[in-house]
Structure 1
Amino acid sequence: MTRARPATRDEERVRRTTVSVGMYVAAASALATTVGTLALLGAVALSSRHERGEASGAQPPPPGQPVEAQWVVDRDRIIVLVIVTAVLGVVALGVVGWFAARRAVAPLAEALRVQRNFVADASHELRTPLTVLDSRIQVLQRRLERGEPADDVAARLRADAQAMSAVLGDLLLAAEQTERPEPAATPVVEVVEAAVASLAPLADAAGVLVHLHAPAVTPFAAVPEVPLSRCVVALVDNALQHAPRGSAVTVDVEVDGEEAVVQVADEGPGIRGIAVEQVFERFSHGPETGRRRGFGLGLSLVRDVAQRVGGSVDVASTSSDGTTFVLRLPLAR
Structure 2
Amino acid sequence: MTLAADRSRVRRAALSIGLYVGIASAVLTVVGVAVLITTVSLRARQESVEHRLGPPHGAEVAWVVERDEVIGLVALLGAVGIVLLGVVAWLAAHRAVAPLAEALRLQRNFVADASHELRTPLTVLTGRLQVLERRLDRGEPVEEVVGRLRTDVASMADVIDDLLLGAEAAEAPDGAATPLADAVRAAVSSLEVLAQQTGVRVETRVEAQPLVAVPRVAVTRCVVALVDNALQHSPAGGVVEVGVGVAGRTATLRVRDTGPGIQGISPDRVFERFAHTEGDRERRSFGLGLALVRDIARRHHGDVTVESTSPEGTTMLLRLPRL
Q: 2:213·2:322 contact (CA, 8 Å) conserved in 1?
A: yes
Q: 2:205·2:244 contact (CA, 8 Å) conserved in 1?
A: yes
Deviation at residue 102 of structure 1 after TM alignment? 2.1
Which residue of structure 2 aligns with residue 234 of structure 1? 225
Deviation at residue 268 of structure 1 after TM alignment? 0.5
Q: 1:166·1:226 contact (CA, 8 Å) conserved in 2?
A: yes
Q: 2:117·2:159 contact (CA, 8 Å) conserved in 1?
A: yes
Matches of 1:193 and 1:279, distance apart in 2: 25
Matches of 1:197 and 1:287, distance apart in 2: 31
Secondary structure at 2:59's aligned position in 1? coil
Structure 1 residues 12-46: Cα deviation after superposition (integer angstroms, max 9, x where no partner)? 01101111211221121112112111211222222
Please point out which of 111, 116, 122 is paired with 1:124: 116
Matches of 2:280 and 2:200, distance apart in 1: 14
Matches of 1:63 and 1:259, distance apart in 2: 101
Deviation at residue 287 of structure 1 after TM alignment? 3.8
User: What does 1:1-333 align with in structure 2 at a 5 Å threshold?
Assistant: 8-53=4-49, 60-61=52-53, 65-215=57-207, 218-287=209-278, 289-294=280-285, 296-332=287-323
What amino acid maps onto 1:292 in structure 2?
R
What amino acid maps onto 2:276 in structure 1?
H
Matches of 1:53 and 1:326, distance apart in 2: 91
Structure 1 residues 87-146: Cα deviation after superposition (integer angstroms, max 9, x where no partner)? 111122122212222222222122112111111111111111111111112222222233
Deviation at residue 53 of structure 1 after TM alignment? 3.9
Runs of 5+ consecutive residues of structure 1 not aligned to the other structure: 1-5
What amino acid maps onto 2:240 in structure 1?
V
What amino acid maps onto 2:105 in structure 1?
R
What amino acid maps onto 1:271 in structure 2?
I
Q: 1:270·1:322 contact (CA, 8 Å) conserved in 2?
A: yes
Which residue of structure 2 aligns with residue 3 of structure 1? none
Backbone CA RMSD of aligned residues: 2.0
**If the length of structure 2 is used for normalisation, what is the TM-score?**
0.93
What amino acid maps onto 1:152 in structure 2?
E
Matches of 1:33 and 1:143, distance apart in 2: 82
Matches of 1:297 and 1:291, distance apart in 2: 13
Matches of 1:276 and 1:49, distance apart in 2: 74
What amino acid maps onto 2:74 in structure 1?
V
Structure 1 residues 213-239: Cα deviation after superposition (integer angstroms, max 9, x where no partner)? 114x62211111000000000000000
Matches of 2:111 and 2:66, distance apart in 1: 67
Secondary structure at 1:324's aligned position in 2? strand
What amino acid maps onto 2:152 in structure 1?
D
What amino acid maps onto 1:42 in structure 2?
T
Secondary structure at 2:260's aligned position in 1? coil
Secondary structure at 1:35's aligned position in 2? helix
Secondary structure at 1:84's aligned position in 2? helix
Structure 1 residues 238-274: Cα deviation after superposition (integer angstroms, max 9, x where no partner)? 0000000011111111222222211111111001121
